[in-house]
Amino acid sequence: MQYTNLGRTGLKVSRLCLGTMNFGPRTGTAESFEIMDRAHEHGINFFDTANVYGGEKGKGITESILGSWIAQGRGRREKTVLATKVYGDMGDWPNESRLSALHIRRACEDSLRRLQTDYIDLYQMHHVWREAPWEEIWQAMELLVQQGKVLYIGSSNFAGWHIAKANEAAKARHFLGLVSEQSLYNLNARTVELDLIPACEAYGLGLIPWSPLGGGLLGGVLNTDSVGRRGSEGMQKNVEQNREKLEKWEALCGELGEEPANVALAWLLNNKVVTAPIIGPRTKEQLDGSLRALEIELSEETLKRLDEIFPGYRPAPEGYAW
């Protein structure tokens, strides 16, 4: 396994992050345990979850599965850099969602209880909330850090200017601020190259891409043997809209002799701002297959051809101006 620093911090994390959104709704508890154990066997130490994952509002089912796994002991917690999130609806009453100081405090306590741990390594804001001033948010986060319940703070689904505003406010409070951003990023979704990636680079945030395979679109979807969500109406529509690109994409992967999913991950890993793409395996076999991405080296010619198939962006304003 390869490791890197999470943004500007000294924290070492694996170059692949185990996403757990499938745990509960699509993968049962026993198999989820097997996947997490296999991840450790491969040296993957970075696990990502969220309090809203699990399919049932307010239950935190996925966090509870992780907690039961951690409770088995034998170094599971000590070997894991554990990341979870706060923001989503955890109930129907006011203050059971978003980023008020009250909800941040309550949500953290609830996550700690479900995860059966006394601290969270990376506590991420799942989305921006414009109603709460940064003074309130940072005050709440600082208290959690002081209490030892949270070590690092990250964001998810922020824009570049949100990161700038957040970290300037943190700097004024002599606080470390955001150290990572989790965002949609893959070959077919490159909007973040305009301002988000430059902001992450400027402020020392590690980028953690979610949906690195575009919801399965980049996983060899034209192959009749493909599985997963390929047969859904939404996926079929997406395939037809992108068929020309996908044909060229899968042909290029065929020339390289590599599985499309692994090339898509390798492309993200080639970006110096990317810390670790989030992989969401439903089985141990899918997890095992993802490790190949770490061994793929993409030549300049291949990177150029990928840019021709999936055009990206230059940083703003050059990306849309002269």
User: Which residue numbers are catalytic?
Assistant: 53
Residue linked to tokens 């923001």? 87
User: Bridge-partner residues for 156, per DSSP?
Assistant: 182
Distance of alpha carbon 203 from alpha carbon 195, whole angstroms: 12
Q: Residue 22: CB partners within 8 Å, gap ≥ 6? A: 32, 280, 281, 282
Q: Residue 297: CB partners within 8 Å, gap ≥ 6? A: 266
For residue 187, what are the CA distances in angstroms to 13, 209, 215, 243, 308? 23, 11, 12, 14, 11
For residue 88, what are the CA distances in angstroms to 32, 58, 61? 23, 9, 14
CB atoms within 10 A of CB 93: 7
